[in-house]
Structure 1
């Protein structure tokens, strides 16, 4: 299976080229990313100053969970006044770049990770809640722990697509991440269940330390009382649950885990579409092979019908 990049590759490519010492040039490009995210990279005032802006559907949700603080921490002095029509902007001066190529490449990658870093805010907050709840729970036995510690933190909802959302809930012994996903076609549901079962079986067979993965058509218990949850039981909406245990929640693993899990939906549906395309291509090839067999089976000597001058017909048998 193909692992998708966390960064926007086109943004990274453009910035790497600009940072490599190429002559300054005007830029005005709009770049689309997964989940309806839009980037705008431009040189509005001078060719040596590049402005990168991002528009995210769920940015108000992200702000509630500390996105502005995360972005300020990651981009610091590069943060610029927000371009109209967008949610966040950074500005880089080509005349004030790091000296080494490695540092310039790392800077281009950091800007290309703008979406990833914005989407990381609720996950980072859930990690911090988990640490606090874990410390509080250590003061009590499981029976004596206060209700707030036993039930965990509030559910963080990120409505990143029109009909889909990510829900994150921290507890003292785990962090639960739930993706609601819409299946437009029956074949998508079939492929989706096959992929999810592969996650389950892979953990059972070889990757014992992987997060637990669950799939169901009705909303999990963690989402009871959360506004906007639909229980249609029609199969159009599925809920994929990842359970992150303490071994996944260490500060050393936090960055990689957040990067992996927030791209799950794109990875999931990308492979559903790729599988359908592969099967369709195989069907077309089989059809072409079958037609070729039929052409070979057609008799070479066919009866030929001819007419006389008076209009009467007669058949001529091939030799």
Structure 2
């Protein structure tokens, strides 16, 4: 019941912390990268010797490095999950950060997928401008992970076009979501797979209620959301290599349908691309929260039952009842 209630109140939105519904909303900017950039900007022109390594959910990791001989050049390397590197990842990052501010590094270090060089001398001098600059650098994950979605949504905002077959985009090792362009819409389908069978059970309940929450009057302008059980994949997946039921989609299939009104501005496109690219992490987080909540409730219930049993014990006092006390330590001889 708690999972159903949480799903009914939830909705995708933008923001760096939990929304009014209490559901987590992933921040588009990585805090560790943002803080490191601000610290480096504050130390210019001398700069700081920086070698920051940070990891994020879904297997993403970063290396932010600044050498003493060039304090205004920030080297940013990004490692993506194996097999989940989108085509043109580096180009998408350069485009999002700005070609005048960012460029591809001459070589990509071993173990990383993208290497960039950020020119800190191009950052604004005022505090607010520097905050926005650091936030933009910290949003490199959104630029890379959302590139395939951004391309489809920008085409939709420009007027759509002819429909295409669903295209698979790898975003986790061995897992894909699918983008299908229509004449006036874009459909994004997620086969939800979980290693733990219990997570799959909770996910089915959560996602079913999540899709039904879309029917609320307050969410009438939101993108369409539908959920299909593992044994009934959506028709948009016909002709693709999407998993069919079983362990490949034990949480079912979630489909989002976006129209031009949902991508009317660049800000809407960025928000939609980011929320869709991190949807699996959004669901996984709330499944873990659900399990933690249920475990806590069960422990409290067990403690309450143990306390009730302890209070129900009757202290036996033979002196008060007039019973003769039983002899102790007597040797019985036949």
| TM category, shorter | 0.7 to 0.9
| Aligned position for 2:145 | 119
Counterpart pick for 2:125 among 89, 94, 99: 99
Q: Is 2:42 the counterpart of 1:10?
A: no
Against the structure 1 CA distance between its residues 107 and 269, is the aligned structure 2 distance closer, same or farther, given a 3 Å change threshold? same
| Aligned position for 1:54 | 78
Q: How many residues align?
A: 294
Counterpart pick for 1:230 among 243, 255, 265: 243
Q: How far, CA to CA, are the matches of 1:20 and 1:293 in structure 2? A: 61
Tell which deviates more after alignment, 211-220 or 174-183: 211-220
Q: How far, CA to CA, are the matches of 1:171 and 1:121 in structure 2? A: 18
Q: How far, CA to CA, are the matches of 2:27 and 2:68 in structure 1? A: 31
Against the structure 1 CA distance between its residues 125 and 283, is the aligned structure 2 distance closer, same or farther, given a 3 Å change threshold? same
| Alignment root-mean-square deviation, CA | 3.0
Q: How far, CA to CA, are the matches of 1:96 and 1:68 in structure 2? A: 20
Against the structure 1 CA distance between its residues 59 and 127, is the aligned structure 2 distance closer, same or farther, given a 3 Å change threshold? farther
Q: Is 2:233 the counterpart of 1:211?
A: no
Against the structure 1 CA distance between its residues 30 and 87, is the aligned structure 2 distance closer, same or farther, given a 3 Å change threshold? same
| Aligned position for 1:249 | 263
Task: Report the alpha carbon displacement of residue 178 of structure 1 after superposing the two structures with TM.
Answer: 1.0
TM superposition score normalised by structure 2:
0.77
Q: Is the 8 A contact 2:86 2:170 kept in 1?
A: no
Q: Is the 8 A contact 1:58 1:158 kept in 2?
A: no
- Name the SS of the counterpart of 1:89 in structure 2: strand
Q: Is 2:98 the counterpart of 1:84?
A: no
- Name the SS of the counterpart of 1:57 in structure 2: coil
- Name the SS of the counterpart of 2:255 in structure 1: strand
Structure 1 residue ranges (4+ consecutive) displaced by more than 6 angstroms after TM superposition: 302-306
| Aligned position for 2:59 | 36
Against the structure 1 CA distance between its residues 114 and 261, is the aligned structure 2 distance closer, same or farther, given a 3 Å change threshold? same
Q: Is the 8 A contact 2:53 2:63 kept in 1?
A: yes
Q: How far, CA to CA, are the matches of 1:279 and 1:46 in structure 2? A: 55
Q: How far, CA to CA, are the matches of 1:2 and 1:57 in structure 2? A: 23
Tell which deviates more after alignment, 78-87 or 270-279: 78-87
Counterpart pick for 1:290 among 299, 305, 316: 305
Q: How far, CA to CA, are the matches of 2:295 and 2:84 in structure 1? A: 40
Task: Report the alpha carbon displacement of residue 39 of structure 1 after superposing the two structures with TM.
Answer: 0.9
| Aligned position for 2:322 | none
Q: Is the 8 A contact 2:186 2:258 kept in 1?
A: yes
Against the structure 1 CA distance between its residues 219 and 163, is the aligned structure 2 distance closer, same or farther, given a 3 Å change threshold? farther
- Which residues in structure 2 correspond to 1:293-312 (within 5 Å)? 293-301=308-316, 307-308=328-329, 311=331
Q: Is 2:173 the counterpart of 1:173?
A: no
Q: Is the 8 A contact 1:61 1:158 kept in 2?
A: no
Q: How far, CA to CA, are the matches of 1:200 and 1:285 in structure 2? A: 31
Unaligned runs of 5+ in 1: 137-148, 314-319
Q: Is the 8 A contact 2:81 2:171 kept in 1?
A: yes
Against the structure 1 CA distance between its residues 51 and 200, is the aligned structure 2 distance closer, same or farther, given a 3 Å change threshold? same
Unaligned runs of 5+ in 2: 1-22, 319-324
Q: How far, CA to CA, are the matches of 2:327 and 2:68 in structure 1? A: 81
Counterpart pick for 1:240 among 254, 274, 277: 254
| Aligned position for 1:145 | none
| Aligned position for 1:199 | 210
Q: Is the 8 A contact 1:70 1:117 kept in 2?
A: yes
What per-residue deviation string (whole Å, max 9, x for no partner) do you get for residues 253-302 of structure 1? 21222122222111111001111101111111221222222222223337
Against the structure 1 CA distance between its residues 273 and 305, is the aligned structure 2 distance closer, same or farther, given a 3 Å change threshold? farther
Q: Is the 8 A contact 1:165 1:181 kept in 2?
A: no
